[in-house]
């Protein structure tokens, strides 16, 4: 926007107005940052936060996780676990338009567990994870790496988030006992985590997927099972849906799959 430059008479009139108002200088001796807001004093911060002990967690969310743990613990097979998931009503996603629970597909005796983020529209319609375009790409890459017949595939949540959005930590927490029980029943040799939401939920971290991708971590359950601790190496990688948008990143995921295949064959 171009403003007209004031003429000398108008400028003189304006200066006379400020002089009459008592203004006797246009500038300070030193520049002053008028946008700077000083931080509160340490004592004020301590006083304001003294009563904060732990973040508030809704009772309903706590109850949902407890119920999920009870149902998951009662399942002595993957088939029984799928039935328990279908009966679980504690995940908020269940009442947001999802048609059905989407648990798993693949080899029930697999030595590789693959965990994605959540079902999409095609998965919600067919009742199986990774059957849409992203799943078809995943299958092709697994076939090429010799891993397809060795994989069991699931997600961090079992109901489709509205609009295929990323599941929230609360939604993932409600389903986590079932994911952990899947891990305990399958006892895979390795775990492949697809996408940031999956890696962050399983590994309990806030690191970004670009930092974690291709790095081997350990997934260990907090509580030991009846046969001792349950743990396996886990490798995060990029989600197939991301590869559909950014095909150049396929090379990175292919490198991760080759690393995974080599890890699985170490003891053979």
Q: What is the pLDDT of residues 36-66, one digit of tens each?
A: 555 555 555 455 444 444 444 456 678 999 9
Per residue in 143-192, pLDDT (tens digit) is 999 999 999 999 999 999 999 999 999 999 999 999 999 999 999 999 99
Q: Mean of the pLDDT values across residues 201-209?
A: 97
The reported pLDDT for the residue numbered 227 is 56
The predicted model gives 240-251 an average pLDDT of 97
pLDDT at 155: 98
> Rounded to two decimals, what is the model's pTM?
0.77
Domain boundaries, the chain: 59-264
User: What is the average pLDDT score of the chain?
Assistant: 86
The whole-angstrom separation of Cα 41 and Cα 219 is: 42
> What are the beta bridge partners of residue 191?
113, 234
Q: What is the pLDDT of residue 44?
A: 52
Could you read off the pLDDT of 115-150 as tens digits, one per residue? 999 999 999 999 999 999 999 999 999 999 999 999
* CATH T-level topology, domain 59-264: Uracil-DNA Glycosylase, subunit E (3.40.470)
Tell me, what's the pLDDT at 28? 56
Q: Residue 62's pLDDT is what?
A: 80
* Lowest mean pLDDT segment, chosen from 31-40, 50-59, 94-103: 50-59
Reported as a pLDDT band with limits 50, 70 and 90, residue 103 is very high
Residue 236's pLDDT band, with cuts at 50, 70 and 90, is very high
Q: How far is CA 54 from CA 18, 195, 202, in A?
A: 55, 29, 22
If you search the block for the tokens 């693959």, which residue do you land on? Answer: 114
């Amino acid at each position: 926007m171009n403003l007209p430059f004031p003429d000398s008479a108008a400028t003189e009139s304006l200066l006379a107005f400020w002089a009459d108002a008592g203004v006797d200088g246009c500038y300070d001796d030193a520049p002053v940052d008028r946008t700077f807001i000083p931080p509160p004093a340490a004592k004020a911060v301590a006083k304001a936060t003294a009563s904060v002990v732990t973040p508030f967690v809704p009772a309903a969310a706590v109850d949902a996780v407890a119920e999920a743990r009870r149902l998951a613990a009662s399942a002595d097979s993957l088939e029984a676990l799928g039935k328990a998931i279908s009966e679980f009503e504690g995940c908020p996603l269940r009442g947001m338009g999802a048609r059905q629970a989407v648990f798993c597909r693949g080899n029930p005796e697999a030595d590789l567990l693959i965990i994605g983020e959540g079902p999409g529209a095609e998965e919600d319609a067919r009742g199986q994870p990774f059957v849409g375009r992203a799943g078809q790409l995943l299958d092709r890459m697994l076939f090429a790496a010799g891993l397809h017949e060795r994989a069991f595939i699931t997600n961090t949540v079992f109901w489709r988030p509205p609009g295929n959005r990323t599941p929230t930590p609360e939604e993932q927490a409600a389903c986590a006992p079932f994911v952990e029980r899947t891990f305990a029943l399958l006892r895979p040799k390795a775990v492949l985590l697809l996408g940031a939401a999956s890696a962050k939920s399983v590994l309990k971290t806030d690191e970004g997927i670009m930092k974690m991708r291709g790095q081997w971590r350990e997934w260990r359950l907090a509580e030991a099972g009846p046969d001792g601790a349950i743990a396996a190496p886990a490798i995060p990688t990029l989600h197939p849906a991301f590869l559909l948008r950014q095909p150049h990143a396929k090379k990175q995921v292919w490198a991760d799959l080759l690393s995974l295949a080599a890890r699985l064959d170490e003891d053979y």
